[in-house]
Amino acid sequence: MIVKKDGGDLLIGGIGTFSLERTLNCGQCFSFSPTEDGSFCGVVREKVCHVRQEGELLRFFDTEEEAAQIWISYFDLDTDYETICRRICTDETMQRAVESCAGIRILRQEPWEALCSFILSQNNHIPRIRGIVGRLREMFGKPLGNGQYAFPAPEVLASCTPEELAPLRSGFRAKYLCDAAKKVAGGQLDFSRIALAEHSAAREELMTVYGVGKKVAECTLLYGFHRLESFPEDVWIRRAMQSLYPEGIPEAWTPYEGVAQQFLFDYVRKTRDFSLHPVIR
């Protein structure tokens, strides 16, 4: 991987098949917005991230060189996805999904932001989730300039009532956010402990938050803790698994079930292709 400065911009090259657009638009992150020049703007760890892909190169506008490792880690650029994809492509269906959605990476988001984002995702669609997350940042996050705001700390939201969150237009999810904030701020929900816990124990601890079920817990583990074995099941994945993999998750996907899920989710959501193909185990 090549890192160098170009004026005030930071360039990261040698990114292979990585696709910025597919990674940011595949339903795992709700804090980036596209701009007219094909770039995306968002916030990562209280740093404004304005980035555009130029072939096998990422251009981070107005960024110091010291931030390179933050972006490499966040976009998971140093993980060998070619090897992962070869491992999970054991049948025609997954091969088609990976080829159609090539370049997707599992972002390394902050656990708190991931938990809140997927609480807000319940019975919701991506544009509306982005709107709620954006309002959450604007109302309660620290201003970072250029119209960008940090994600609000749990201590900030812990002092709020569901009524005070009404301008977010998050509906019934507001009371879930309040409970999550209180548990994190008060130490009952310990992210450092969850990061080290066995998978089922980590999931069960996240499910102690009011309104957090298995799907939100699995999403938080996959996207907030980078637990690649996590397998969130929404209506798209549930229908795809019933149709395409009626015998269950193929063993060959272990320990990258979450990566397979992401490719399958993006593929069936865009194509509505639930036709059964022969499975080669």
In the chain the first and final C-alpha atoms are separated, in Å, by 35
pLDDT digits (tens, 9 = 90+) for 228-242: 999 999 999 999 999
Position 279 pLDDT exceeds 50: no
Q: Are residues 200 and 115 in the same domain?
A: yes
Cα separation, 188 vs 116, in Å, equals 16
Q: What is the mean pLDDT of the chain?
A: 94
The pLDDT assigned to 270 comes to 84
Select from 58, 78, 98 the last residue of a domain.
78
Mean pLDDT of 64-69: 92
pLDDT digits (tens, 9 = 90+) for 91-128: 988 999 999 999 999 999 999 999 999 999 999 999 99
pLDDT digits (tens, 9 = 90+) for 176-210: 999 999 999 999 999 999 999 999 999 999 999 99
- Assign 3-class secondary structure to 190-211: CHHHHHHCCHHHHHHHHCCCCC
The pLDDT assigned to 274 comes to 66
Position 277 pLDDT exceeds 90: no
Question: What is the residue whose two structure tokens read 């583990």?
Answer: 221
Q: Are residues 71 and 25 in the same domain?
A: yes
Q: Are residues 60 and 145 in the same domain?
A: no
Of 215, 242, 241, 244, which is closest to residue 230 (Cα–Cα)? Answer: 215
The pLDDT assigned to 272 comes to 75
H/E run at residue 186: helix 173-186
Mean pLDDT of 37-61: 96
Select from 199, 224, 249 the last residue of a domain.
224
* Identity of the amino acid at 177: L
Q: Which two tokens stand for residue 275?
A: 């036709």
Lowest mean pLDDT among 36-40, 190-194, 277-281: 277-281
Q: Which domain holds residue 55?
A: 2-78
- Classify residue 141: in a domain, yes or no: yes
Q: Are residues 119 and 205 in the same domain?
A: yes
- Classify residue 172: in a domain, yes or no: yes
The pLDDT assigned to 275 comes to 65
Position 273 pLDDT exceeds 80: no
Q: Are residues 143 and 189 in the same domain?
A: yes
Strands 2-6 and 9-13: antiparallel
Cα separation, 240 vs 262, in Å, equals 12
- Classify residue 167: in a domain, yes or no: yes
- Classify residue 93: in a domain, yes or no: no
Lowest mean pLDDT among 37-46, 139-148, 269-278: 269-278
Q: Are residues 128 and 218 in the same domain?
A: yes
Q: Are residues 21 and 66 in the same domain?
A: yes
The pLDDT assigned to 39 comes to 97
Q: Are residues 30 and 135 in the same domain?
A: no
The residue among 66 and 212 whose pLDDT is bigger is: 212
Q: Are residues 188 and 122 in the same domain?
A: yes
- Classify residue 98: in a domain, yes or no: no
Q: Which pLDDT band, with edges at 50, 70 and 90, does 75 fall under? A: very high
What's 55's domain CATH number?
3.30.310.260
Q: Are residues 123 and 62 in the same domain?
A: no
What's 174's domain CATH number?
1.10.340.30
Q: How many domains does the chain have?
A: 2
- Classify residue 89: in a domain, yes or no: no
- Contacts of 197-201 spanning 24+ positions with Cβ under 8 A: 199/227, 199/229, 199/230
Select from 184, 204, 224 the last residue of a domain.
224
The pLDDT assigned to 191 comes to 98
Mean pLDDT of 137-165: 96
- Classify residue 133: in a domain, yes or no: yes
Of 171, 188, 169, 170, which is closest to residue 179 (Cα–Cα)? Answer: 188
The pLDDT assigned to 220 comes to 99
Proportion of the chain above pLDDT 70, given as a percent:
97
Q: Are residues 128 and 49 in the same domain?
A: no
The pLDDT assigned to 68 comes to 95
Q: Are residues 63 and 116 in the same domain?
A: no
- Classify residue 193: in a domain, yes or no: yes
Q: Which two tokens stand for residue 33?
A: 């917005």
